[in-house]
């Protein structure tokens, strides 16, 4: 009788466990296909939910074979290459070096705004994660930090705190929902199919670890968004340079260093020079066009990374002002790549087209110098 009773209890236990598992699975499936989540990041201004899918097809874009404003790509590397007053956004010779940090125009923002900077519907593929139960940040972070990059595309996560605010996940806060985002494009490449497949696999693993169910967007739509965004980045990847040529003997590097320091340049240990903007970033950089082993140079190049400097900082105007100051101090001439002097009229015309470039970026909701622009053009 004892064995029969024990067997009956065991059978009832197995049946109860299976029923509980079926109920749990049913609730998970319902959550995965429920489209009625009132998500702060997915609402329009009138409160109606809008899917987080942003196509840049409606953004005015130049022809594939031209620069941002129809200037042929073969014009050259510097402003100095331009025979007529046209703005040619091309990469300067030192573009293989790491870009200098540039301070964002909106670096100091509240937590909820910072959250939308980290997971941005315009430049990220959104990855909602439904939590099985609320969880503290210190338990989530170790798992989330395992998924920070896929290829060279950064991945960020934010959480919906019990206070009702979206914020970067941090210790000591309980979160009821998570939102991930992988950047769709960078200066070099767009998110591709291989990277996305790796992302999905790793995201599922992280989700299992923290007790969450990810909502995976359709790969075809994500790839199209990534290509559109990368096309925008490629067409607005503008770096402008001006050259200074010595009118006499080459400059001694040690003597040149003193002159640059007096003008306010930050002399870096790697031999690069940058002009601080006074707020922790840089306006433009300077290259001596020689290796660290050389003792003299007869040519300097000042370089402005246009989409990474906010219009209010007037990076181009500051760079030209600095070039003219150096021209007087060092007995030099501002020239193009063919050593032809650049007239003030040409520089003024280019400055006007730089302003048009800034207006175009702002109209596309990716203003130069913003956190969004710095992420894309880093």
DSSP 127-193: EEEEEEEEEEHHHHHHHHTT-SEETTEEEEEEEEETTS-EEE--TT-EEEEEEEEEESB-SS-B--H
19 to each of 13, 97, 319, 344, how far by Cα in Å?
Answer: 10, 61, 71, 81
Q: pLDDT (tens digit, 0 to 9) for every residue of the chain, 378 residues total?
A: 888 877 777 777 767 666 665 555 444 434 433 444 333 333 334 443 333 333 333 333 333 333 332 322 322 233 333 323 334 533 333 333 444 444 444 445 566 677 889 999 999 999 999 999 999 999 999 999 999 999 999 999 999 999 999 999 999 999 999 999 999 999 999 999 999 999 999 999 999 999 999 999 999 999 999 999 999 999 999 999 999 999 999 999 988 988 898 889 998 776 679 999 988 889 999 999 998 889 999 999 999 999 999 999 999 999 999 999 999 999 999 998 888 899 999 999 999 999 999 999 999 999 999 999 999 998
Report pTM: 0.71
Residues 6+ apart with CB under 8 A from 2: none
Q: Is there a contact between 359 and 352 (Cβ–Cβ < 8 Å)?
A: no
pLDDT value at position 257? Answer: 86
Q: Is there a contact between 126 and 52 (Cβ–Cβ < 8 Å)?
A: yes
Q: Which residues pair with 302 in a beta bridge?
A: 242, 286
Nearest-angstrom CA–CA distance, 356 and 154: 30
Three-state secondary structure call for residue 282: strand
Numbered ranges of CATH 3.30.1400.10 in the chain: 122-234, 237-376
Residue identified by tokens 């894309």 is 376
CATH fold of 237-376:
Cell Division Protein Zipa; Chain: A, (3.30.1400)
> Measured in Å, how far apart are the chain's first and last C-alpha atoms?
75
Q: Does domain 122-234 correspond to CATH entry 3.30.420.40?
A: no
């Amino acid at each position: 009788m004892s064995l029969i009773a024990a067997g009956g209890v065991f059978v009832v236990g197995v049946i109860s466990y299976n029923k509980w598992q079926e109920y749990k699975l049913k609730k998970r499936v319902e959550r995965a296909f429920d489209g009625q989540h009132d998500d702060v990041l997915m609402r329009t201004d009138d409160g109606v939910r809008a899917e987080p899918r942003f196509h840049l097809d409606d953004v005015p874009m130049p022809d594939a074979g031209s620069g941002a404003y129809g200037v042929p790509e073969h014009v050259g590397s510097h402003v100095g290459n331009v025979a007529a007053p046209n703005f040619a956004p091309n990469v300067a010779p030192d573009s293989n070096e790491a870009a200098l940090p540039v301070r964002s125009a909106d670096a100091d923002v509240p937590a909820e705004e910072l959250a939308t900077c980290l997971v941005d519907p315009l430049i990220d593929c959104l990855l909602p994660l439904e939590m099985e139960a609320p969880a503290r940040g210190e338990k989530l972070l170790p798992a989330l930090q395992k998924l920070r990059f896929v290829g060279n595309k950064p991945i960020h996560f934010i959480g919906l705190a019990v206070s009702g605010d979206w914020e970067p996940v941090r210790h000591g806060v309980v979160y009821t929902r998570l939102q991930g985002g992988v950047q769709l494009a960078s200066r070099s490449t767009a998110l591709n199919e291989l990277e996305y497949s790796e992302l999905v696999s790793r995201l599922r693993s992280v989700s299992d670890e923290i007790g969450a169910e990810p909502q995976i967007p359709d790969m075809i739509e994500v790839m199209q968004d990534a290509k559109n965004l990368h096309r925008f980045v490629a067409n607005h990847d503008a770096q402008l340079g001006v050259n200074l040529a010595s009118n006499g003997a080459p400059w001694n590097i040690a003597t040149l260093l003193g002159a640059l320091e007096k003008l306010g340049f930050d002399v870096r240990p790697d031999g690069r020079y940058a002009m601080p903007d006074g707020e922790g970033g840089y306006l433009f950089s300077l290259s001596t066009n020689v290796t660290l082993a050389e003792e003299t140079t007869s040519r300097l190049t000042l370089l402005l990374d246009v989409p990474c400097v906010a219009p209010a900082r007037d990076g181009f105007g500051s760079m030209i002002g600095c070039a003219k100051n150096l021209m007087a101090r060092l007995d030099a001439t501002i020239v193009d790549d063919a050593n032809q002097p650049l007239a003030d009229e040409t520089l003024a015309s280019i400055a006007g087209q730089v302003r048009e470039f800034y207006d175009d970026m702002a109209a596309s909701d990716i203003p130069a110098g913003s956190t969004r622009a710095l992420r894309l053009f880093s």
